[in-house]
Structure 1
Amino acid sequence: MADSNATYTQIHIQFVFAVKFRDSLIQEDWKEELHKYITGIVQNNNHKLLVINSMPDHVHILVGMRPKQSVSDLVMEIKANSSRFINEKKFLSTRFEWQKGYGAFSYGKSQVNDVINYINNQEKHHHKKSFKEEYIEFLTKFDIDFNQEYIFNDLI
C-alpha cells in the first residue's frame, strides 16, 4: 500500500543557457569535465540528470526534477557553481560567465527519448542552424511570448 504522505511527481525539464555574449568558450578538451560537474550539482540536489550536452556557446540539460526545489534556484546553482568551477580550474585565460537568463521547457514522459536524442545530437543540429535560431524555435514551439531584443546580450 502506498504511503499516504508520499508525493509522486514526473517532471521533465530541459534547461538551455548560453555563455555570456554567446562566446564560443566551452572547449572540447574540458567540456566532459564540465558536464560531470554539472551532473554532480543536479544529483546533489536530488534531481535526476537524464542527459547533458554543450556546444562551444551554450548548454542543454534534461532533468527529472523533484518538486522540493524551484527551477530558478536549480539553474542559479548550476550556473554559479559551474562558472566558479571553470574559473578555478583555469580552463580559460579569461573569466568565464554564463549569460543572464535561461530557457526551461517541460516535456511529458513520452517525449523524453526524443529530447535525449536531440540533445545528444547537438553538433548535427548546429550544422543547419545557429543557437539563436534554435532558441527562437524553442520559444515559438512552446508558445512563449518573447521580445527578440532581450533574448541575447550581444557584445557591443
Structure 2
Amino acid sequence: MPDCNIYLAPAEFDPQTKKRTKTAVQQINTLIIDLDYKNTDFKGMEAEQLMEYAWSRGFFEKIPCPSFCMESSAGLGLHLIWLLDKPFVVNGDYRNINRWERVLKAICKHFAPLGADNACCDIGHVFRVAGTTNTKTDATAKLLFWEELRNTEPVHYDFEAVEKPFLSS
C-alpha cells in the first residue's frame, strides 16, 4: 500500500468504545518515544550512528537501552521502544494516565538534544508500523536491532525500574 500511511497504537483500548481516547486505554505494554531528528544537527545520520552517539554521550546511563528501535524515516526519525515485562494497567484511571505520560515526558526531555518529540507522550499516540512506507519521504519504516543489543532476544523491562530515575525529574 504505497499510497497510504499505516499506524499502530501500542495501547489496548476498551472494546466497548469506538473512540481512541485517553480514558479508553485499558493497558499498555511498551514505552515508545519518537526522535524526530530532521530539524537537528543529526539530520541525515544513519539510525545506528545516532544510537552510537547517544551511547557514547551517556544517554543510556539513566535509562536502559531500548528493546529495539525502528527507523521511521531514513535519516530523519527513529522510535526507541522499551518492551515491558507486564502490561501497565490504566483502565481509564487519570492517575495512571498521568503517571504514564509523566514518565514519557521525562524520557523525552532526557532525549530532547536528539530531537525527542513530546507529541508521542500522549498515552493513545499512534506510531508508524515497521515494513510500511512513509508517504512523505517514500522511506520504508524498518526495525533495527542496534549493535549493543544484537544476538540477544529483545529485553523486557519493569515499568517501575524505568520510571524510578525520572521520579525526581
Which of the five TM-score ranges fits, normalised by the shorter chain? 0.3 to 0.5
> Structure 1 length normalisation: TM-score?
0.39
More helix by share: 1
More strand by share: 2
> Structure 2 length normalisation: TM-score?
0.37
